[in-house]
């Protein structure tokens, strides 16, 4: 099975370990993994900011470079949701492109959804000594129905205890450009999320979208919380984090 990794522009720039963790998970599950070199961004920032022309151009670019694979997998509910739900809308009036957009949409998956519903993975390489709470990111949750998949996979990680927080399904306040257009407001929403995740008593907050994680981590650190770890679900499942070591529950080394 040939699987293309859509690494996402944010992971590429900020946290490559998520990309490597994703690669490990897919390869250990038996996929032949390819990373198309020309990939940049899915175009969601253009779409969300009302720049439809740019969003369409980038959609066509992605459709072109991800043609011919059995599946396309992204460690992000947000980007996968954009490809699946928005591409067919963006290209609805272009007869040449619409079938290609629909075809790509049908074989594009968010990572945990792919591991559970396509690969039926029942064993993951990661280990984690401690408790985590899961933050549901909006696009994945409400746009792709990703709720049980990451939890089912986390339950397979030896040593990991899942502690649900209040309001796990509520937005963290990131919202892409919203976070810099209305910084104070965005941070105030993030503060509510941080309060909830701290109240869960978990050692780490885990999520499936780097945008949310940067927002949450940034707010936690600003509040002086240097202890709660902020991890992508791929890192926990693969047992890889930024230091190239198994993610651990403890705070600063």
Interface contacts to another protein, rule CB under 8 A? 7, 9, 11-17, 19-20, 23, 35, 37-41, 43, 45-52, 54, 57-58, 61, 138-139, 142-143, 170-171, 173-192, 214-215, 217-219, 221-222, 230, 242
Minimum CB distance to another protein smaller for 203 or for 235: 235
Burial of 245 (0-12, 13-18, 19+ CB in 10 A): exposed
Shortest distance (Å) from residue 118 CB to another protein: 23
Residue 35 C-beta: closest distance to another protein, Å: 6
The C-alpha atoms of residue 253 and residue 240 are separated, in whole angstroms, by 16
* Strand-pair partners of 32: 2
Nearer to another protein, 106 or 188 (CB): 188
Q: How far is CA 69 from CA 4, 45, 75, 223, in A?
A: 6, 25, 17, 44
Q: How far is the CB of 121 from another protein (least distance, A)?
A: 22
Nearer to another protein, 163 or 192 (CB): 192
For residue 70, what are the contacts with CB-CB under 8 A and spacing of at least 6? 1, 2, 3, 107
- Of 78 and 200, the one with the shorter C-beta distance to another protein is 78
Q: Which is nearer to another protein, 38 or 123 (CB)?
A: 38
Q: Which helix (H) or strand (E) holds 4?
A: strand 2-5
Q: Supply the minimum distance, in Å, between the C-beta of residue 215 and another protein.
A: 7
Minimum distance of another protein from residue 122's CB (angstroms): 27
Cα–Cα distance between 1 and 43 in angstroms, integer?
27
């Amino acid at each position: 099975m040939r699987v293309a990794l859509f690494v996402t522009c944010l992971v590429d720039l900020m946290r490559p370990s998520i990309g490597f963790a994703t690669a490990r998970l897919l390869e250990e599950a038996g996929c032949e993994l390819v990373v198309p070199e020309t990939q940049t961004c899915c175009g969601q920032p253009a779409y969300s900011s009302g720049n439809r022309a740019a969003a369409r151009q980038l959609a066509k670019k992605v459709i072109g470079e991800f043609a011919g694979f059995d599946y396309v997998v992204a460690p992000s509910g947000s980007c996968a949701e954009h490809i699946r739900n928005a591409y067919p809308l963006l290209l609805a009036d272009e007869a040449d492109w619409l079938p290609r957009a629909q075809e790509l949409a049908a074989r594009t998956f968010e990572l945990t959804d792919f591991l559970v519903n396509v690969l039926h993975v029942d064993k993951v390489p990661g280990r984690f000594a401690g408790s985590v709470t899961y933050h549901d990111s909006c696009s994945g949750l409400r746009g792709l129905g990703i709720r049980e998949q990451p939890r089912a996979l986390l339950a397979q990680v030896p040593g990991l205890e899942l502690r649900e927080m209040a309001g796990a399904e509520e937005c963290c306040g990131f919202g892409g450009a919203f976070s810099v257009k209305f910084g104070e407001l965005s941070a105030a929403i993030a503060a509510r999320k941080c309060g909830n995740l701290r109240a869960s008593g978990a050692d780490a907050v885990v999520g499936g979208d780097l945008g949310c994680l940067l927002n949450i981590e940034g707010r936690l650190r600003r509040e002086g919380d240097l202890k709660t770890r902020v991890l992508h679900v791929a890192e926990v499942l693969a047992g890889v984090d930024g230091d190239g070591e198994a993610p651990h529950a403890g705070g600063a080394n």
